[in-house]
Amino acid sequence: MKTLKISSNAFEQGGTIPSRYTCDGVNVNPSLQIMGIPENAKSLAIIVDDPDAPIGTWVHWVVWNIPVTNLIIEHHVPGNEGFNDFGKRHYAGPCPPSGTHRYFFKVFVLDEELEISPSSAKYDLEKAMKTHVLGWGSLMGVYSRP
């Protein structure tokens, strides 16, 4: 499995996510640059989650069937969005109840487009793509409420 390099012009690996991309700001997705995509890639998928949430990992964004690209544009819906843990089908940025949390922007390269329901969530996406992942990478940023 290939390891992708994921970066953003909004924050560095392990850096603080600017409030623009959180519930305290405009609450839009940051741009993501993706390097190392295999030539036989057919689609991309993204999962953004917070493993530090008090009740367990909290999902902020689920997207699949993204056309193969090296750039996910800020404030853009690149593919089919599923349900996050806020019960919404769109990006919901960092919004920790207390303390500093880590947020993982995970990008997966798949060998096909997925046929899953629009009402799918993280679990459904992970199950559907399980045998189709050619590579993946993640960018981690941190955030704490002002």
* Model pLDDT, residue 68: 98
CB 49 within 8 A of CB 104: yes
How confident is the model over 5-15, as pLDDT tens digits?
A: 999 999 999 99
How confident is the model over 47-62, as pLDDT tens digits?
A: 999 999 999 999 999 9
Residue 138 lies in a domain: no
Residue 137 lies in a domain: no
- What range does the domain containing 76 cover? 2-131
DSSP for the chain reads: -EEPEEE-SS--TT-BPPGGGSTTTT--PPPEEEE---TT--EEEEEEEETTSTTS-EEEEEEEEEPS-SEEPTT---SEE-B-TTS-SS------SSSEEEEEEEEEEESS-----TT-BHHHHHHHHTTTEEEEEEEEEEEE--
Residue 124 lies in a domain: yes
Residue 6 lies in a domain: yes
Between CA 7 and CA 4 the distance in angstroms is 10
* Structural domains in the chain (count): 1
Residue 98 lies in a domain: yes
Residue 127 lies in a domain: yes
- Residues 13-33, mean pLDDT to the nearest whole number: 98
Between CA 82 and CA 62 the distance in angstroms is 5
Tell me the CATH number at 14.
3.90.280.10
Residue 141 lies in a domain: no
1: confidence class by pLDDT, cuts 50, 70, 90: confident
Residue 90 lies in a domain: yes
How confident is the model over 67-91, as pLDDT tens digits?
A: 999 999 999 999 999 999 999 999 9
